[in-house]
Structure 1
């Protein structure tokens, strides 16, 4: 018999997994309901992705039951056996019939209860999901019961413990509490089971999850061990403090370097406390134990903000340890956004994160008086530099550092040699190249820093307002979308070197082993624009002792613009109509300018206040007439989003340090210009660039203003050939 061709065979019997083409669809497929078993397995796959997720659900149920002791037993990474025993309130025998049915729970009665949820579990899906993909056995005893009851479940229903028996729970001996045994996880989902690479990897994930709850759940004892081993991998007594729990779960090196913090805010309805590592500890990766309303969750936004905060205190590549417990008004939190409740949404996330990071930053700064560094001692005789560990002291301390001979040495015979092409300067306070040059040509030297920015600061009781404008949120999001990761790392870890060209507004800064020339005017413009978005509606005020006449300022701006127009041989503007038009534009929007931008103009046309964006830095008031004049034609007053964006861009341009002419021969330069040169030089080094380091989101637009001019490793390769 002739064999059919491959093409005919394919047509008559399509291979499994082959996509059907449109011309092969003879008729539309009928829509039918999935079988209940398929539905349940799909749902189980969303809740229980790995053994660690099953254990997380069981731990949360045990803690909800009021347990003070949890014992966990694991075999083959939880795939063969996962058992948890607690001493909680137990489960009533009458409830065991529906224990593993979907959406059966004792913690939720109506949908409105979700707004005040105060327990870990609430949807009643955990045990149901486990029973569909594993062999589940529950043994439980309540305080009122004279004996324990044991039941087995399959597919959400009671199943016989042995073939031929009925499925009803059986009486047995047992202590108060509940023991849940999960065997052969994913036995009926072979593709999921084959996806796990090794039992040891799954156990490490389980140990990490148990460790998180062991740290957070005060008053609860935890024990976790592998099946067949005598000792427990994790053992934490109920009486241990949080610091001791971290010591037992992690190590003493972390526990010894922790500082406590606490912050609360009634406006945003939250309070937070925790333990964070100080500057002496530096790990290879960030360890973040985050609990929101006592639920272990993950948050990339919080993790990113914490790492940004620590970038000012740790060496490049160093990561912190953070335990953070955040309690938020349940009405402000939506915990029902992820099947495994791994993520939550809450109101005022940006504001809350900023307050927490601000408190952490304050605590780190206040205790960082004994930070240890690895320093290089350059000794004579051509010997290899030795490495020693010293303690840095506060600048105002009367103590003297230990002599070199008495410093505790950490050098070992097997210590890896540090090559010169990998050594970088990390202390921004060390001597700079500008200190070696004549001060007449480099007035920004620290010895000539200004004593004040010329302002007297007063603090008011005005509470910060929450910006709920969609347009501002969209503008903030657009900044985050334009973020350049590599450039952000350079600016957040840079070391300022000095001003190179004041006329072109160029400075030199070091990023790791690379040297950059930076257009600080361009960077300042982006920074002040972002600052305007972040502090929108909450600006401080620069209040004039004597109000300034708006019309006179506009006339000065017109005179400056006319002079510039004459120099450029252009004459397309009717300047006689500009002043009244711009004046009317600003006066008609006085209320909005005062509320959103802290720019107060009286009904009589007097400028009372200007927005204060950065404490310690005063913009040049010589730019004020041009700034006010540009608010007329260069701000889109008809569209809300465009208005806010263009206004903040103009405000940022006003705040950018002005370009100064090249310094003249000493004694021939105007005194005001010379003083302003000193002020700008000091502010760029001590105010602006530290602010860039802590708060700037480096966008792609800054690439054209940041040029790499040298690379230490590249220079070494060049000189090695010489």
Structure 2
């Protein structure tokens, strides 16, 4: 501690750079604050698409790209100076502010503590302009260059790149514990605006990662946006909510979770006049309302958009605009809570006993504990009709829940099959027909270690977009929240799943084909490897496939009867075909190795094939046929067609094999039972693989298209079965 001085210290003005950095520290507390400001600017610019890329939790890179109206070239020199804004002209304008940003400090503050680059293009501009900023001023991109904005190619809108955040304030930077923690905060704020901003699509991901952390569509309604961000468990249990009062000058609308849903911590998405804010008073009041409907320790999900007449709101009370003050706060909160309580009472059925407990504390009646099927589960315990089940209740008493509306499956319950002893993997992977040599476990190894490579190819991006645009929302909901029941037929490759109160039959071969095609697109150039030791002779594998093809043709000819060959016809030259296909594959060995992890050595041996899904091994008996089909079925001369056709052939190779049907039970055929020991082991291995690997992958990674509608058949629903039983009684 410094010793007191004998004379008072003189007062002096701080240097402008010190003032600016102090102000920046108040506004940009963390990367998420910088991103919030940038998102609000993008929405104010009329954007319908906002894409965000993050590296190291935003500390290393924070990039936001929109398709808004852009920034004029003439405005770029003062873009990052403090208190420069297009939102205000006079102090009185604050009383009627209708935009997100207005203080004119966001970009200025970011430029004080990071390297800031802006690339922007307006509708009338012939090109985009790129400008680099430091300490609020234009600076040259490289030493010796001009600081003036540079013309560059670009689309309409603005891209803002923030690099090395807090590079000049090391104490602030050291305060952040991990990039993953900051990334979680970023996903939270992006999710809030993705829910609130209808008509705007959002995407957020880690820089260089092919998987998107969060994505919403501009055409999705409010409930679908909540489903994309917070999951189906809460989206299926939402109640539309609205209230207004002319005297208090406010309107409120949003979505509330009903009594079937509760979590350990309240989720409140609060927007006042379109701005994401926090209010402990509103949160406490809503928690008090829900305490009547939820069990002890349970908390709700609430999205609330509150519009208050601008002259009643003081928005300029917090540097980060995180808080606002408004007139008649207590009265407005009371109106909102009253309306919410009335709405919850109207639809509450399954947990209405909580009201009885509250009103009659001395009653000896003990409510029956809630069963697993009385509540919605996170992965498939709800049905699409759940929002209509509860409409029959009234405030005078709970309506009866009929058994045909009750879901009896909780996806989190332990299945009885998990108590059975686990089968060891079989030691061989044979061809279904017995063609080709057996491949022992020691003959191959799986290599999953790889450094992720970014794919810049337009062809792959186009194919990914086609797969994403073909998404069927109903099928996506079913696959994302299904409960696996079991395999019905290994030969026809059919499995049963439950979704809500309905039972479906799924052709998992077709669904698996689409899954692995999409994995091929998303993980392009980043596959794992199944390595063969020693490498397999490519020519020998092709010969095995040819022999199998000849055998099929002979069987077909025997079934159809002998067909005489016309004079002049020559038998198909399979030897030439083998040589041609081998030449094609060896000529493209570099592309196959770099893009698809299919490694063919210089001496014509197959060293590795791609691994698409962890813990899933394709039937290696199909390997010769897969290699044979690559020759004629891949469009080698066109980039897009080549990638698409190769990945489809790869997906076909990864589709589970069709096993022979189970033999009819007969005590007179003990020899056949002994002969089918290996087949029995393969059947059990397939069942385990389908349940524990494939169907969980459907839930997490599949974007089903409308073409899969023919692969999913509804076979039963609880209501229909009850009608049948009622007629038969």
TM-score (norm 1): 0.51
Residue 52, structure 1, aligned to residue 32, structure 2: yes
- The 1:198–1:351 alpha-carbon spacing in structure 2 relative to 1, beyond 3 Å, is same
In the other structure, the counterpart of 1:408 is 408
Q: Deviations over 1:428-467 (max 9, x none)?
A: xxxxxxxxxxxxxxxxxxxxxxxxxxxxxxxxxxxxxxxx
Secondary structure in 1 matching 2:151: strand
* Equivalent residue in structure 2 for 1:245, among 225, 229, 239: 225
Residue 258, structure 1, aligned to residue 238, structure 2: yes
Mapped partners of 1:399, 1:278: distance in 2: 17
TM-aligned CA deviation for residue 389 of structure 1: 3.8
- The 1:397–1:32 alpha-carbon spacing in structure 2 relative to 1, beyond 3 Å, is closer
Mapped partners of 2:195, 2:169: distance in 1: 34
TM-aligned CA deviation for residue 161 of structure 1: 1.1
| Corresponding pairs, count | 384
Report which stretch shifted further, 385-394 or 159-168: 385-394
TM-aligned CA deviation for residue 237 of structure 1: 0.8
Mapped partners of 1:144, 1:216: distance in 2: 30
Mapped partners of 2:139, 2:9: distance in 1: 37
Q: Deviations over 1:110-153 (max 9, x none)?
A: 00000000001111000000000000000000001000000000
In the other structure, the counterpart of 1:487 is none
Residue 275, structure 1, aligned to residue 247, structure 2: no
TM-aligned CA deviation for residue 370 of structure 1: 4.1
Mapped partners of 1:397, 1:321: distance in 2: 23
Mapped partners of 1:271, 1:413: distance in 2: 46
* Equivalent residue in structure 1 for 2:64, among 63, 81, 84: 84
Residue 20, structure 1, aligned to residue 2, structure 2: yes
In the other structure, the counterpart of 1:223 is 203
Mapped partners of 2:47, 2:401: distance in 1: 54
In the other structure, the counterpart of 2:111 is 131
Contact 1:280 1:372 in 2 (8 A): no
TM-aligned CA deviation for residue 386 of structure 1: 11
In the other structure, the counterpart of 1:184 is 164
Residue 360, structure 1, aligned to residue 340, structure 2: yes
* Equivalent residue in structure 1 for 2:311, among 316, 319, 331: 331
Contact 1:372 1:389 in 2 (8 A): no
Contact 2:203 2:214 in 1 (8 A): yes
* Equivalent residue in structure 1 for 2:78, among 98, 103, 110: 98
In the other structure, the counterpart of 1:107 is 87
Q: Deviations over 1:347-378 (max 9, x none)?
A: 0000000000100000000011344999xxxx
Mapped partners of 2:287, 2:165: distance in 1: 37
Q: Deviations over 1:29-57 (max 9, x none)?
A: 11111111111100000000000000000
In the other structure, the counterpart of 2:216 is 236
In the other structure, the counterpart of 1:175 is 155
Residue 155, structure 1, aligned to residue 135, structure 2: yes
- The 1:399–1:110 alpha-carbon spacing in structure 2 relative to 1, beyond 3 Å, is closer
Residue 285, structure 1, aligned to residue 265, structure 2: yes
TM-aligned CA deviation for residue 396 of structure 1: 5.9
- The 1:283–1:387 alpha-carbon spacing in structure 2 relative to 1, beyond 3 Å, is closer
Q: How does 1:495-506 map to 2 (within 5 A)?
A: none
- The 1:237–1:400 alpha-carbon spacing in structure 2 relative to 1, beyond 3 Å, is closer
Residue 35, structure 1, aligned to residue 30, structure 2: no
Mapped partners of 1:386, 1:368: distance in 2: 14
Contact 1:372 1:390 in 2 (8 A): no
Mapped partners of 1:412, 1:373: distance in 2: 25
Q: Deviations over 1:391-414 (max 9, x none)?
A: 8995767857659xx982659459
Q: Deviations over 1:192-216 (max 9, x none)?
A: 0000000000000000000000000
Contact 1:142 1:176 in 2 (8 A): yes
User: Considering only CA atoms, is the larger Rg found in Structure 1 or Structure 2?
Assistant: 1
In the other structure, the counterpart of 2:706 is none
Residue 343, structure 1, aligned to residue 352, structure 2: no
Contact 1:277 1:322 in 2 (8 A): yes
Mapped partners of 2:178, 2:401: distance in 1: 55
Contact 2:87 2:101 in 1 (8 A): yes
In the other structure, the counterpart of 1:303 is 283
- The 1:38–1:257 alpha-carbon spacing in structure 2 relative to 1, beyond 3 Å, is same
- The 1:249–1:396 alpha-carbon spacing in structure 2 relative to 1, beyond 3 Å, is closer
- The 1:88–1:29 alpha-carbon spacing in structure 2 relative to 1, beyond 3 Å, is same
- The 1:228–1:373 alpha-carbon spacing in structure 2 relative to 1, beyond 3 Å, is farther
TM-aligned CA deviation for residue 162 of structure 1: 1.3
Q: Deviations over 1:626-664 (max 9, x none)?
A: xxxxxxxxxxxxxxxxxxxxxxxxxxxxxxxxxxxxxxx
- The 1:372–1:230 alpha-carbon spacing in structure 2 relative to 1, beyond 3 Å, is farther
In the other structure, the counterpart of 1:711 is none
Residue 118, structure 1, aligned to residue 98, structure 2: yes
- The 1:398–1:354 alpha-carbon spacing in structure 2 relative to 1, beyond 3 Å, is closer
In the other structure, the counterpart of 1:489 is none
Mapped partners of 1:400, 1:261: distance in 2: 24
Contact 2:259 2:350 in 1 (8 A): no
**Alpha-carbon RMSD:** 2.4
Mapped partners of 2:131, 2:215: distance in 1: 29
Mapped partners of 1:354, 1:309: distance in 2: 10
Mapped partners of 1:100, 1:402: distance in 2: 64
Mapped partners of 2:398, 2:347: distance in 1: 14
Mapped partners of 1:386, 1:397: distance in 2: 15
In the other structure, the counterpart of 2:438 is none
TM-score (norm 2): 0.51
Q: Deviations over 1:61-116 (max 9, x none)?
A: 00000000000000000000000000000000000010000000011000000000
- The 1:238–1:412 alpha-carbon spacing in structure 2 relative to 1, beyond 3 Å, is closer
Query: Structure 2 regions of 5+ residues with no counterpart?
Result: 355-368, 376-389, 417-729
Mapped partners of 1:219, 1:28: distance in 2: 60
